[in-house]
Amino acid sequence: MLKKLVIGILLTSSLFAQLGLSNFFKYSTAYGSFSLNAPRYQDDRFAIVGGLSTGVLEVERTERELKPDFQTSFGLRKIGRFQYEPKRGVKSAGKGGTWYDGSEQNSNESATFGPVKGWEYLIKWSEGRQWGNDYLNQEYWLRYIGDWTMVKLGWTELGLEDISYGQGDIRIHLTPEVLNDKLHFSVGLKHRQHPVYGFDAMVLDTTWYKGQWWNFAEDAFGIDDNMWYDSTMIDPDSPTGWKKRTLYEVDPETGEVREVEGEGPFWNGRGEYWGHDWLWRGTDGRIFAYTDREYFVYHFPRMLEKYIGGIKKDLGYQSETSLVLGIDYYHYDESWWIHTWGNWLPMHYGHTDHAYHNAAHYQTHLEGGKEASDFMFMKPMWHSWNDYDFGAIFGVKIKDNLGVFTEGRYLYYWERPAYDIKFGMNYQFVGW
C-alpha cells in the first residue's frame, strides 16, 4: 500500500509539473515515521490437556508471545492552518512548533471548510498494532473551496472502528456578511461508497437455515460428517433399525433414580441412547467433533460467522447519494477561540440492493414484528434516516499562564459511531 502511494504521488507530481501547475504542491508537507512501544503485559496461559478419565487434571503452561505496539505512518498534506493550531513541519520544528509524525489527531481535518480558499488535500496512511489488535487507518481527500462552492473527494478507513467509505461531496455555501465571514451555511449532495452495513445473516443468505443444517455445513465449509455406531444397538426389527434405551441419572443425596429429561446427548430429544451419532472431520481429515451436538454448539456458529463475512465481502461496495446540510462557525482572538461544524444527512437514495436504504427498511420490517425470512428488497429509491457528524474546538486563556481547552469530533454513519474527545487544562508555573 505504501509503495503504491509513493508511486502515485510521484506520478501526480510529475503530471502537475508538466502542466505548469507545480504551485499545487507549494507549501505542502510530506512526512514518514515509525514508532515502537513496549507491549502490554499479559500473564502466561494455562490449558488443561488431560485427566478426563483419571480425574487428575494435566495442565500445560504456554508462554504468551508479547508483541510490541507499533505504528508506521506516511502522509502528504496541504491544509490551511487555523490560528489556534501550532505550527508544524521542518521550518517550525524547534521554533515553538513540532514535526509531523502521523500520530496527530487533528479534529479540524474533518471540518467542512478550511481557513483559505483554493485547493487543499490530505494523504494520511498508518498501519500498526494497539494492545494486540492490528489496524490500518487511511484518510485521503482533495478539496476545493471557492466563493460559492465546495467540492471534496475522499476515502476514509478506520480499522479499529471497522468503518470505511468513499465520498464525493459538492455543495453551495453562503457566508452572511453581517457575521464577518465567521459562519458558513452549506447545502448539497454527498455520494458515498461503503461495504454492506445493517443486514444480518438471515437476509444476506437463506441457504443456511432453510434446509438441513448438516448438508449446508458440508457444502459451505468443505467439511464432512460420518456416522459412528455401537453395533450392539442395531435392531433390524425396529422401525428405525436401532434399539433405544432410556438414560437415567442418580440423585447423589437421595439415591433416587430418574429418567434424564430433555434433549439427550445424541439428538433424539427424549434423553434416550440410540448408540449412534456423527463425527465431524475438517478439511485436513482430522476429527474435531464426535457428535452433532458438539459440532452444532461449539463449531458451527464460528464457521457460520466466517461464511457470512465472506458473503458480505463478495457483495462488494454499495452506493447511495444523500442530501447534506452543513453549518460551520469559526471565531478567534488572543484570549479565546471556538471552531464548530456539523453535517446532517436526512435523505438518501440507495443505488444498489444492499445499500443502506434497504438496511433501514429491514430494521423497520423487524420492528413491525415480521419475520426476517419474509423481507423483500426494495428497488433503488429515496429513504430517510439520520446520518450526521460534528466537531468542536474550544480554548480559553484565563490568564497568561492558565488556560482550558476541549476538542473532539463525532461521526455517526449507518448506525456505526466513531469519535475522539479531549478535555484539558494547562498551567505554567511562573514562580513562587
Q: What are the residue boundaries of the structural domains of the chain, listed by start? A: 24-196+316-427, 207-293
Question: Which pLDDT tens digits describe the chain residue by residue (432 residues)?
Answer: 444 444 454 445 555 555 555 677 777 888 888 888 887 777 778 888 788 778 888 888 888 777 888 888 888 888 888 888 877 777 777 777 777 777 777 778 888 888 888 999 988 888 888 877 888 888 999 999 999 999 999 999 888 778 889 999 999 999 887 767 789 999 999 999 999 999 988 899 988 988 899 999 999 999 999 999 889 889 888 888 888 888 889 988 899 998 887 766 666 667 778 888 999 999 999 999 998 989 999 999 999 999 999 999 999 999 999 999 999 999 999 899 999 999 999 999 999 999 999 999 999 999 999 988 888 999 999 999 999 999 999 999 998 889 999 999 999 999 989 899 999 999 888 765
pLDDT of residue 93: 75
Supply the pTM of this predicted model.
Answer: 0.78
How far is Cα 160 from Cα 384, in angstroms, rounded to an integer?
28
Query: Cα separations (Å) of 165 from 2, 120, 294?
Result: 19, 20, 40
Query: What would the DSSP string read from start to end of 47-109?
Result: EEEE-TTTSS-EEEEE----PPEEEEEEEEEE-PPPTTSPPBSTTTBTTTBB---S----GGG
Query: Cα separations (Å) of 149 from 2, 152, 333, 392?
Result: 33, 10, 27, 23
pLDDT of residue 11: 47
Query: Cα separations (Å) of 424 from 103, 133, 421?
Result: 19, 28, 10
pLDDT of residue 109: 84
For 183, the grid coordinates are 459562519
pLDDT of residue 329: 94
